[in-house]
């Protein structure tokens, strides 16, 4: 805990057996109360590794639900177990867990409700080996989103995020996509509710075992990102309404 805030780290896992232990070993258990892994029907030894290293809560999907579907299970379980701060961290060791204290202190001390670990602030992305085409796509989509959503984020596409419980309770994320665009929809919803989003510089690593999506799925994701941002703009201007931006009272 930090103060009286219970902290949960959620790991949405799919074929993460080769990198899971490295990721878990760097999680600061002196402040993290609970580590939850949700396995999206991996075909490797992710579950066996998770069981051997002492992860607190392990959930296995009987069917592959997709990246967004995996996160839904992660957040639902973290909230059920009373987490006040939820950190979403990819278990592929692309992002260092050593930033968890910095991210959580910002939330626990009431400075921000949402904190992102950004690969673009500084030179972390290129230095860490991000493919050039992904870097260019990231910059283009981020520029477009900042214009449409009226934000000033360095990137919307990081897989390293920390949330105050209040934010997750206000957003109906269970109605979001089960695919990769889930992440982007969540940030658009957070912005719609006028929560300020903090970013901290995050070094990153690109290597063979780190997760990545192919070109076809990247294109699908990019189109989904643009569609999400346009929906945000249309609803903000009152021209259309979208279920994405309907929030529980």
Going residue by residue through the chain, which has 249 residues, state the pLDDT in tens, using 9 for 90 and above: 898 999 999 999 999 999 999 999 999 999 999 999 999 999 999 999 999 999 999 999 999 999 999 999 999 999 999 999 999 999 999 999 999 999 999 999 999 999 999 988 877 677 777 778 888 889 999 999 999 999 999 999 999 999 999 999 999 999 999 999 999 999 999 999 999 999 999 988 776 655 566 778 888 999 999 999 999 999 999 889 899 998 876
Dihedrals phi, psi of 117, to nearest 5 degrees: -90, 110
Q: What is the C-alpha to C-alpha distance for residues 142 and 83, in angstroms, rounded to an integer?
A: 30
Residue with tokens 């192919």: 214
Q: What's the pTM?
A: 0.92
Q: Which residues contact 116 (CB under 8 A, 6 or more apart)?
A: 153, 155, 158, 160, 161, 162, 197, 198, 199, 200
Q: What is the C-alpha to C-alpha distance for residues 13 and 196, in angstroms, rounded to an integer?
A: 28
Count CB neighbours of 180 within 10 A.
20
- pLDDT at 248 (0 to 100): 72
Cβ proximity of 190 and 236 under 8 Å: no
Measured in whole angstroms, the distance separating CA 177 from the mean position of its chain's CA atoms is 14
Q: Which residues contact 243 (CB under 8 A, 6 or more apart)?
A: 175
Q: What is the DSSP letter of 60?
A: E
Delineate the domains of the chain, giving CATH numbers in brackets.
Answer: 7-245 (3.90.550.10)
- pLDDT at 211 (0 to 100): 57
- pLDDT at 212 (0 to 100): 61
- pLDDT at 111 (0 to 100): 97
């Amino acid at each position: 805990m930090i103060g009286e805030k219970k902290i949960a780290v959620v790991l949405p896992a799919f074929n993460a057996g080769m990198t899971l232990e490295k990721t878990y070993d760097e999680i600061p258990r002196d402040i993290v109360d609970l580590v939850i892994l949700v396995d999206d029907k991996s075909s490797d030894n992710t579950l066996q590794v998770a069981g051997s290293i002492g992860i607190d809560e392990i959930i296995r999907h009987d069917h592959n639900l997709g990246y967004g579907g995996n996160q839904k299970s992660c957040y639902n379980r973290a909230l059920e177990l009373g987490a006040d701060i939820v950190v979403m961290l990819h278990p592929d060791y692309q992002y260092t867990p050593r930033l968890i204290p910095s991210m959580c202190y910002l939330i626990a001390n009431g400075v921000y409700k949402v904190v992102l670990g950004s690969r673009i602030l500084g030179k972390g992305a290129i230095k860490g080996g991000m493919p050039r085409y992904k870097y260019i796509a990231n910059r283009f989509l981020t520029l477009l989103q900042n214009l449409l959503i009226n934000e000033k984020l360095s990137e919307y596409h990081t897989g390293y995020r920390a949330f105050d419980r209040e934010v997750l309770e206000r957003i109906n994320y269970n109605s979001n996509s089960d695919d990769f665009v889930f992440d982007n929809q969540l940030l658009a919803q957070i912005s719609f509710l006028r929560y300020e989003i903090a970013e901290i510089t995050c070094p990153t690593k690109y290597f063979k075992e780190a997760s990545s999506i192919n070109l076809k799925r990247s294109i699908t994701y990019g189109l989904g990102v643009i569609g999400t941002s346009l929906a945000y703009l249309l609803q903000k201007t009152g021209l259309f309404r979208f279920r994405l931006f309907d929030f529980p009272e």
